[in-house]
Amino acid sequence: MREQDVQVETGKVHLRIQEGAGTPVVFLHGLGASGHDFRDAFGAPELGGRPLVALDLPGYGKSGRPQGFSYDLKDQAEILDQVLGALDMDQVDLVAHSMGGMAAIWFARLHPEKVRRLVLAEPNLDLANAQISARIRGYGSERAFAEGYREFLDRFDKPEKPSAYGFYRTLLETEPHVLFRSAQSIKTHSTEAFYREFLELPMPVAFLQGEKSWHRLEEGMRREMEEKGVRFATVPYAGHGMMGDNPREFYRVVGMLLEP
């Protein structure tokens, strides 16, 4: 695995890359996180030696944090397109977690020919499951959130699971304006219309759930998704942060879902 930066219109985007053979697998992280969430993918035998790329989306991890960027999920999808162009990747498999799942859906809508398969790990398709972004929006304004940022962080300072510790660490590295605008964007796009567009995506789609996660789809949504051909799989002994809670099983399931 190597690390490198690519330049896009927002500035620097940091990447973790593994060379390999076959369709590249691109990982997108969630709110307040980074590509480091997918560190166990690199060298994972379950992924069959495929090329791997884990991004730090703009505003997160080691990527740039421009004040003038919207941090809208649709705009993040367009940044992903610029990154793939810089890497000369014409078609990829996307594996995306939580907020990153929404950006991945936008990318698949805008550039369906560039996505072979889409694996979504508990994306924010309905606001009932977007608990952290709701807390952020609850401050009412970007300025109020910046002023209350320490109070917000204090709610996460006693992590009980590996994934929670990693989330707290990356939260400390994320600036308030990035989180607030991202949280607003989750609300903007977690709509019935967006969900209906998602159901019409042409590529194979899979939905991953953590066995012990608080994230739960309504039965009606799951039934509709299954009728549209979405495959469901569960990562055992894992919560919402399933890549950190049970990485071996997470990548085993992902590898299975990405098989031709």
The per-residue pLDDT for 163 is 61
The per-residue pLDDT for 257 is 97
In this prediction the pTM is 0.95
Over residues 163-179, mean pLDDT? 83
208-234: pLDDT as tens digits: 999 999 888 889 999 999 999 999 999
The per-residue pLDDT for 127 is 72
User: At 230, which amino acid appears?
Assistant: V
The per-residue pLDDT for 179 is 97
Of the listed ranges 80-84, 137-141, 160-164, 199-203, the one predicted with least confidence:
160-164
Domains of the chain: 2-257 (3.40.50.1820)
**The pair of three-digit structure tokens given for residue 150, joined into one six-digit string:** 């320490």
Closest to 117 in 3D by CA, of 163, 185, 50: 50
162, pLDDT greater than 70: no
Residue pair 60/16 in contact (Cβ under 8 Å)? The answer is no
89-113: pLDDT as tens digits: 999 999 999 999 999 999 999 999 9
Positive/negative CA dihedral, 73, 78, 84, 89 = positive
143, pLDDT greater than 70: yes
168, pLDDT greater than 90: no
